[in-house]
Amino acid sequence: MSRASERAYAAIRAHLLSGQVKAGEQLTEDQLTQITGVSRTPVREAVRRLENELLLVRSDTKRLFVADWSRDDIEEMFTLRQMLECHAAERAARRMTPGQLAEMEAVNRELKAAIALPEPDVARFLDANRAFHDAIIAAAASPRLGQMLARLVEAPVVLRTARTYSPEDLRQSARDHDELIAAFAAGDPEWARAVMGSHLRRAFHTFARTVGPATDARDT
Amino acid sequence: MSRASERAYAAIRAHLLSGQVKAGEQLTEDQLTQITGVSRTPVREAVRRLENELLLVRSDTKRLFVADWSRDDIEEMFTLRQMLECHAAERAARRMTPGQLAEMEAVNRELKAAIALPEPDVARFLDANRAFHDAIIAAAASPRLGQMLARLVEAPVVLRTARTYSPEDLRQSARDHDELIAAFAAGDPEWARAVMGSHLRRAFHTFARTVGPATDARDT
DNA sequence: CGAGAGCGTTTTGTATACAATAACCAGCTT
DNA sequence: AAGCTGGTTATTGTATACAAAACGCTCTCG
């Protein structure tokens, strides 16, 4: 994307992440031009993108609001992500090249360094974690799958700012990544899928623990 | 969407569907303003949407081109659609209300009427078919799932215009729908998922038969 | 000949003015 | 008091002019 609209996107996103703005609150394009420092045209493009990522929503009369993710919305999102990312892991296990595998090992070393004592660096962990998952998606070589996952992964980022990860959560995550790498090295799609499934499902429960109980137990 | 950009979207889409334009061909925003009769601003919004639906693609330098769907792309799309729509069928089976079920039965009667002899009306069939699948997605009550499926289903519409359906294809489709309705009436998620899976996979092979052989057999 | 620099043309990106529509509020009617 | 109605303001949508970037061409230099 071009410079101004990219800047607008990043600025609005940062603004949403910063927590200065409440879920359900209305935003106007004028406010956003002030926040971003660019004119309405690129702001509108950025807003379209954020709408697509479901960070912003529109009322029936085109007013713009900060999206409000319920616990059920989040669970739904995790379920979809699991479905798609397991598929991606399976595809990746079939297609991964030695170079890609080496790259993933490097990323995972970085991830482990980030959580090393004495002081785990959560932001650095999250960056490495994201790079790891992106590498899998890249190896899956499925543009539509990648696009969909990108949208799913974007949204919860908003919520994770206030989240606390225990050192054990971080270490378990690193172990999952080790096992995923082993599955890729073995070229075993079923293994990769299974590890990814438990990895994400556990992540959901870790996440959910801090949010509250489900309101509806019917669903998968 | 607003009037002008909606009109632009529909006009560009129709233009792509009409076959007057080849895959891979470049389009400029100016051309599109002429085709649509609106200014560049709403054209650009429509283009963003079509990019998102992967009917248009951008070069690395922001030039706009008609997307070129390879056989592998189409297979990938069907695979994703199957994954998501099976999930939707499963959810729908858990949640369907009597009113929704009656609605689906009505839609399926319309579908059967459309393919009745002497002269099956394929356009009418396609409309009813779409309504049927939309009803399932609605019953699944998962906004993100619905949004993703909408994008997946959009694209192949482009290609199916020239497609020929045998009367037997149409009848088998109607039978699948009958069985889906039975699964929903029974409230059996596994049954619904299984029927949807075979329904879509058969649709893929019907589709693929007219397109040509796969270039890569590694994938699911 | 071929590679690359310079320059006019084409195409996309941004700002801004104006138009259309939705929300708001006051005052009226019943 | 509840609900409509007219006008006023706030907000979004569209057109257009200008800026920036990419393309294609020619000309030059090695």
Average pLDDT score over residue span A87-94: 97
Predicted confidence band at B155 (pLDDT cuts at 50, 70, 90)? Answer: confident
Average pLDDT score over residue span B201-210: 85
pLDDT reported for residue B217: 43
Averaged confidence pLDDT in chain B: 89
Lateral strand order in the sheet of A56-58:
A26-27, A64-66, A56-58
- Using the CA of A2, which nucleotide's C1' is the nearest one? C13
pLDDT in tens, A138-197: 999 998 899 889 888 877 765 655 567 788 889 999 999 999 999 999 999 999 999 999
pLDDT reported for residue A161: 55
pLDDT reported for residue A217: 43
Percent above pLDDT 70 for chain B: 91
Is A101's pLDDT higher than 80? yes
Cβ atoms B120, B167 nearer than 8 A: yes
Structure tokens at B215: 């270039």
Q: Do B83 and A87 touch (CB under 8 A)?
A: yes
Residue B77: name the closest of B19, B9, B7, B160 by CA: B160
Which of A48, A145, A218 minimises the CB distance to B94? A218
CA distance between the termini of chain A: 37
Average pLDDT score over residue span B99-113: 96
**Which protein residues have any CB–strand C distance under 7 A?**
A 1-5, 38-42, 45, 59, 61-63; B 3, 27-30, 40-41, 44, 62-64
Averaged confidence pLDDT in chain A: 89
Residue A54: name the closest of A64, A39, A43, A41 by CA: A64
The whole-number Å distance from A192's CA to C6's C1' is: 55
pLDDT in tens, B37-78: 999 999 999 999 999 888 999 999 999 999 988 888 888 899
pLDDT in tens, B164-185: 778 888 999 999 999 999 999 9
Is B144's pLDDT higher than 60? yes
Average pLDDT score over residue span A15-22: 88
What domains does chain A contain, in order, with CATH numbers? 3-66 (1.10.10.10), 71-209 (1.20.120.530)
Percent above pLDDT 90 for chain A: 65
User: Which residue would you say has higher pLDDT here, A81 or A20?
Assistant: A81
